Amino acid sequence: MRERFILQGLVMLIAFTLSLATPFKAHAQSGQKERITIMVKQKPLEEVLKKLSKEYNYQLFYNNSLVKGIRVSVSIQKAGINQTMDVLLAGTGLQYSIKEKTIVITTIPSRNTAKEKKLLSGHVVDKEGRAIPGVNIFTGDKTQGAVSDIDGNFAFASPLKHGTLLNFTSIGMKPQHIVYGGESTLKIVMVEDVNELEAVVVTGVVNKKRESFTGSASTFTADELKAVGTQNVISSLKTLDPAFNVLESGEFGSDPNRMPDIEIRGKSSLISTRDELAEDPNQPLFILDGFESSLEAIYNLDMNRVASITILKDAASTAIYGSKASNGVVVVETVRPKSGKLHLTYNGSANISWADLSSYNLMNASEKLRFEQMVGRYTSSTPSQQIELDQLYNNKLADVARGVDTYWLAEPLRTGINHRHSLYAEGGEGAFQFGLGLSYNGITGVMKESKRDNLSGNIDLTYRLNKLQFVNKFSMDNTASGNPIVGFSEYAGANPYYMKYNENGEVERWLEYNDYVEAGNPLYNAAQNSYNKGKSLSISDKFIMEYTPIAAMKIRARFGITHTNSNTEAFTSPLDSDYSKVDFTKRGSYNYGETESNKYEGELTVTYGKTFNKAHLVNIAAGGYLSQLDSKSHGYAAVGFPVGDFTLPSFANGYPDNGSPSYYENTSRSVSAYAIGNYAFNNRYLLDFSYRVNGSSVFGTDKHYIGTWAVGLAWNLHNEKFVSDNIDGISMFKIRASIGNPGNQNFSSSSTITTFRYNFNSFNYFGMTTSLAQLGNPDLEWQTTIDRNIGFDITILNDRLTLTGDYYYKTTDPLLIGIDMPASTGATGNIIYKNFGKQTTKGFNAQATYYIIRQMDKRFWWSVRGTLRHGSSELNGIGNRLESFNTSGREGDQNGQNKSTKRYFDGADPDAIWAVRSAGIDPATGREIFIKKNGELTYDFSYDDEVIIGSSRPKVEGVLGSSFSWKGFSMNFDFRYRMGGYSFNSVLYNKVENITTSQLKYNQDKRALYDRWQKPGDIAKFKNIADSQSTPMSSRFVQKDNTLTLESLRVGYEFKPEIARKVGVSSLRLNAYMNDIFRISSIKQERGTSYPFSRSVSFNLSLTL
C-alpha cells in the first residue's frame, strides 16, 4: 500500500514538474510574433547581438573575432527578425542564416572561396596544450561528424559548407561552438567545465556521461565539498547527499580519534559486529583513485587533493564492484597535475572549537545536597550511624553555605586551536607532468590531552608516450593521536559540593572517603603520569598504465600496494584511585596493541565505446581483479608498577591474572572477472548490463564463488521530440530503473575456519593445552542483496530547477548473522556465523535545487535547496534464533547494566524501540502504572507486555540550505532537520530514576529533584523520590526526537586576478566557516557522555603562485 502511494507520488511530481515547465514554451512561441525594437548609437555589435538574444529568445552563433571592433548605430522599431539582421549587418562584410530561433553569422565568402571545396581537419587541446582524445565534433544539423584521436587530431570525410556550425563536446569540458569560415585546419582549445564534471559519473573503473547512465549516483566537486566545510570529506558528504548517513554517536561526540559510522540507504546487515581486523559490515566500499581504500584513509585525506567524489547507490551504479557493493560505493578522485610552468598552491586554515555543554542539566551544590537528604542518604535507624551522617550532612551544608559550587564540566575542557596547511607544486611540459604535495592537519580536541596530528605527502607522475600513458601515485600518511586518560563522564559525575583543591591549594586523591562513600578525584587521576596514545603509518603506491590503440578503445592495467601499521599504548598510574583496593603488586597497568597489514591489488580492464550510424551508442568493458590482504595483530597487558616515572613495561611486575600476550593473523584473498555493457539509442533509450563472477576466501569452502549481476533501464524524455518541441528550457528529464544483487564481504575469513587458542597457563606432559576459540562454518554462504531502484533526474526552467528522486527496495536473503556459541562447544562467549533470515529495507531519497537568480556569466546567483530521506526495515525468517540477544537486552550484563530496547522478531523493524507501555505515575502512591497488551492497567511489570513504541530511525531527515554569489563574494548555509524519530532517553532512566544508594556519589539530572513524585496528590512524570528500587524500561523513557541544527555556514570572497597579482599571486581566496553552531531538540538528554560535542569557527586562505 505504501509502495503504491510512493509511486503515485512520483508520477504526480513528474506531472507537476511538466506543468511548471510548459508555459515557458508558450511564451517562446508568442515571442516569434513580437516585433523587434532596437535603438543604439555607436554600440559594439557584440553587445547588441547579446541583447537581441536575451530579450527576444534567439540563439546566435558566431566567431568572436568576426564582430570584434565593429560598432553600429541603428534605429529599428517593430521590425521583423530578417529586417533587423539586414540593418545590423549592413556594411560589416558579414552575412546571416536563420532556422527557427537559431541565427548563424559568418563572413561573406569571396567567389573563389565559395567555389573551393576543402576537407577540414584540426587539432583539439586543453588550455595547457595537451591533446584531448575522444572529442565529438558534429555539424549543427548532425549530418556530418568526426571524433578526435589519441593525439587530439580530427578530420571530416567530406567538404563542409561555408557558414556551417560546428559543435565540439567532451566529458568534463565546456562545449565549443565554431562557425566554419572556409578554413582547411582549425586548432580548438577546450577548457574544463566544473559544472560538466557533475555530468560525469566516475565509477572508478569506467567514466560515463550522466545523460547515458541508468544508475543512481551523485557527484560533488571540490568546490562543493569545501563550501560546506574544510574539516574532512565525510562531514561535507553528509550535508550534500541525503543517502549518505553519518550516524551520530551520543557517547563519543566530537572525539577526533573516533571514526564515524556510515550508512548509504540503510543497513544491509542485521548486527554490526566487528572483529579484530574487519570493518563494519554496513560500511560502504571506498575507492580512492581506482583502488579500494579504508575509511580512515578517506577521513585523513587532505580536501585540497580531492577533485571529485561520486556516491554510487543502486545496483546499476555499483555492479562493477559486485560482491562488495551492497552498502554502496564512495569513489574519490584526486587532482591530476597540470602541465605548464611550475605552479605552487597553498591552502591554510585555522579552526577554533569549543565544547557544547548545552544538553547537560546537572544539579548545583545546593540542589544535590537537598536531593540526597530527600532520598534518605543521611538517615539511619542506628543512632551511632545517624550521628555520623548528621555530621557529614552539616559539613557539606556549611561548605555550600560558604559558596562551594564546583562546575566540574569545565575542568577537562579547553578551547581547541586547530590548523591545517597544504602545499602543492605541479608542472611539466609535453609528455611529462608532475605533482608534489605536502599537508599537515593538527587537531586539538576540546578535551585536554586529546589530539590528532596528521602529516601526509604525495607524489603524482604522468608520462605519455605515443599511445601509452603511465601514471604513478605515491602517498604517505602518518598520524599521531592522544586521548584523555580520564573520561568526561567522571567529571560530569563529580558532585558540585566537593572542592577541587584543599585549603593548601593541593589536589587530593579523594573527594570523599569514609565508611559510606568512596569518591575519587578526577583531577588527581588526570594529574598523574598516565597516558593513552597511538600512532599509525600508511604507505601506498599505485601504478596505472593505459594503452589507447584507437580512439574508441582503451586498455588499462593497474597495480597497487598499501602498507599500514598502527599501534596503541596506554599506561595508568598505580596512584589512580581505581587501584585503592588492589594489591600493591598489581597496581598500575600498561596495555600495548599493534596491527599491521599489507594489501596487494591488480586489475586489467579493456573498454570500447563508439557510436554507430549516428544513433547507436555502444560502450563495453571487460576485466579482471585480484587482491590479497595479509593482516596480523598482537598485544599484551602488564600490571604492577612502582610509583614514579616508571611507565615502561620493563618495570611491570607481571601479566594480569590469567593474562598472556595475544596474537592474531588473517589472510583473505579475492578474485573476480566482470563484463559491462551500455547501449543508447539516439540518447533516448538506455540499457546497462553487468555481470561479475566473484571469488573470496571469506566464505565457506563450497561457497567460494558467486555471480552478481545488474540491469538498468532509462528513458531520456528530454530528447523526445514531443517533449523538446513543447517544453522550453528543459535540459534533463530522465526516468530510470534498475535491479541487481550486489554482495557484502565485510567479514573476517575466520568466520568459516575453526580456530583454537593455546592455553599458556595450562601445561601437561605433552606441552600446552588448547581450547576452541572460534567455531567456523564451512557452509557459510555469501550475503547478497536484491536491490531494486526507480528514480528520476529533472533539470528544467533553463537549468534553474533540478530535481532528483529515488525509491529503493532491498532484500538481503540470507543474512549472515553471528550468534552465541552453545555451552557444549566449550567456547562460550564467542560467536559463530550462520546464514538465516532476511531483511527488507525500503525508502526514498529526494533532492531539489532552485535558482532564484542565475546569471553565471556575471558570477551572480542565488539558489535554495533541500534534501530528504526516509527509510525502514523489516526482519523475517529468524524465528527464535536471536532470543539470546533479546534476553540480554532485557536483563543486561551480570551487574544488571547495559540493558537495551532493541529486539529481533519476525515482521519487526530492527530499529524499533521495544518497551512496556506506561500510563504514568499514580498520583496517590508515586508508583508507575503499566498497560498490558490487552489494555488493562497494572502495577506489575512483565516483559510479556512489550510492544513497539517507535523507531530510532526518523521518518524524515534532510538538509535545507541556500547559496548566494555576487562577483567575488559568496555565502551558503545548511540546516539539518530530523523528524518523526524516537529515542530512549537514558538520562531519564539513569540520572532521574534508577539512582541507587551507591550512585548517590555521582551528580544527577535536575529533574530527579524537581519532577519526581514526593507526596500524595502530586502530578509527576517520575516515580517516588524515595524509591531507590530498579525501574524497568517503559514507554515513559521513550521520547520524540525532532531536531534542527545549523550544520554549516560559510562566507567567502575571491579577489579579482588584477588585485591578486598586486600581492604577487595569481589567485587569492578567503573563507570563514561556522559548523554546528546551534541545535534545537524536542528531547533533553546528555550528548557526548564520554567525549563532548563541539562547535567550531574556521578561517581558510587559498592562494596560487
Convert the pLDDT of each residue in 320-376 to its tens digit. Answer: 888 888 899 999 999 888 877 888 899 999 999 999 999 999 999 999 999 999 999
Q: What is the mean pLDDT of residues 187-216?
A: 74
- Nearest Cα neighbor of 861 from 286, 195, 383 is 195
| Beta bridge partners of residue 639, listed in sequence order | 589, 654
What's the average model confidence in pLDDT over 292-304?
A: 91
d(CA 1044, CA 1079): 6
pLDDT, average across residues 955-963: 96
- The three grid cell numbers given for residue 483, joined into one nine-digit string: 586521548
- pLDDT value at 275 more than 50: no
β-strands 36-44, 743-744: how paired?
Answer: unpaired
Bridge partner residues of 136 (DSSP): 147, 169
Task: Give the pLDDT score at 89.
Answer: 84
* Mean pLDDT of all residues in 873-901: 85
Cβ pair 452, 256 in contact under 8 A: yes
Closest by Cα among 118, 114, 136 to 188: 136
Whether the predicted pLDDT of 737 surpasses 80: yes
* C-alpha to C-alpha distance for 995 and 1028, rounded to whole angstroms: 6
The separation between the first and the last C-alpha atoms of the chain, rounded to the nearest angstrom, is 61
Q: What is the pLDDT of residue 700?
A: 66
Q: Which three cell numbers stand for residue 661?
A: 600476550
CB atoms within 10 A of CB 93: 9
- Angle at CA 58, nearest 5°, toward 57 and 59? 125
For 85: left if phi > 0, alpha if psi spans -120 to 50, otherwise beta; the answer is alpha
pLDDT-based confidence at residue 162 (cuts at 50, 70, 90): confident
- pLDDT per residue as tens digits for the range 773-800: 777 777 778 788 899 999 999 999 888 9
Helices (H) and strands (E) in the chain, counts: 19, 58
Cβ neighbours of residue 1080 closer than 8 Å, sequence gap 6 or more: 1043, 1044, 1045
Report which of residues 728 and 391 the model is more confident about: 391
> How much of the chain exceeds pLDDT 70, in percent?
91
Tell which wins on pLDDT, 429 or 401.
401
CA 451 to chain centre: 22
Lowest mean pLDDT among 362-376, 522-536, 755-769, 1032-1046: 755-769
Domains of the chain: 31-109 (3.55.50.30), 119-193 (2.60.40.1120), 196-244+255-337 (2.170.130.10), 879-951 (no CATH)
Q: State the CB neighbour count (10 A cutoff) for residue 891.
A: 13
DSSP 655-706: PPTT---EEEEEEEEEEEEEEEEEEEETTTEEEEEEEEEEEETTS-TT-SEE
β-sheet bridge partners, residue 744: 783
Instruction: Quote the pLDDT of residue 5.
Output: 46
DSSP 267: -
Highest mean pLDDT among 153-162, 387-396, 831-840: 387-396
Quote the DSSP letter at residue 991: I
Q: To the nearest whole number, what is the mean pLDDT of the chain? A: 87
Of 740-749, 754-763, 1065-1074, highest mean pLDDT: 1065-1074
In the block, which residue shows the cell 521530440?
Answer: 721
Measured in degrees and rounded to the nearest 5, phi and psi for residue 315 equal: -65, -40
Q: What is the pLDDT of residue 28?
A: 34
Mean pLDDT (whole number) for 125-150: 77
Q: How confident is the model at residue 211 (pLDDT cuts 50, 70, 90)?
A: confident
Question: pLDDT digit string (tens) for 515-555?
Answer: 888 899 999 999 999 999 999 999 999 999 999 898 889 99
Does position 965 have pLDDT exceeding 70, yes or no? yes
Put simply, whether the predicted model's pTM sits higher than 0.85 gets the answer no
- What percent of the chain shows pLDDT beyond 90? 55
**What is the rounded distance in angstroms from the CA atom of residue 89 to the CA atom of residue 641?**
95
Q: Mapping DSSP to helix (H, G, I), strand (E, B) and coil, where does residue 7 land?
A: helix
Assign 18 a pLDDT band (cuts: 50, 70, 90): very low
Supply the pLDDT for residue 272: 45
The CA distances from residue 438 to 252, 456, 460, 878, in Å, are: 30, 6, 12, 52
Listed in sequence order, the DSSP H helices in 1038-1097 are 1057-1062
pLDDT band at 17 (very low <50, low <70, confident <90, very high): very low
Rounded to whole angstroms, how far apart are CA atoms 60 and 939? 82
Q: Each residue of 701-731: pLDDT tens digit? A: 677 788 899 999 999 998 898 887 777 788 8
- Which residues, other chains included, contact 26 with Cβ-Cβ below 8 Å and sequence gap of 6+? none
pLDDT mean over 909-936: 95
DSSP label at 990?
Answer: I
Whether pLDDT at 595 is above 70:
yes
Q: Is 337 helix (H, G, I), strand (E, B) or coil?
A: coil
Q: Which residues have C-beta within 8 Å of that of residue 143, sequence separation ≥ 6?
A: none
pLDDT tens string 677-707? 999 998 899 999 999 998 887 766 677 788 8
What is the pLDDT, as a whole number, of residue 7? 47
Q: How far from 863 is each of 444, 799, 1054, CA to CA, in Å?
A: 35, 11, 19
Stated as kind and residue range, the H or E segment containing 10 is: helix 2-31
> Rounded CA gap, 775 and 996, in Å?
41
pLDDT bin (cut points 50, 70, 90) of residue 187 is confident
For residue 455, the surrounding DSSP H or E stretch is strand 451-465
**pLDDT for residue 1056 is more than 50:** yes
Report pLDDT for 744: 80
Which of the four pLDDT bands, split at 50, 70 and 90, describes residue 638? very high
CA gap 673, 695 in Å, rounded = 9
Q: By three-state DSSP, how is residue 501 classified?
A: coil
CB atoms within 10 A of CB 670: 21
Q: Answer whether residue 23 shows pLDDT above 60.
A: no
Among 846, 925, 690, CA closest to 215: 690
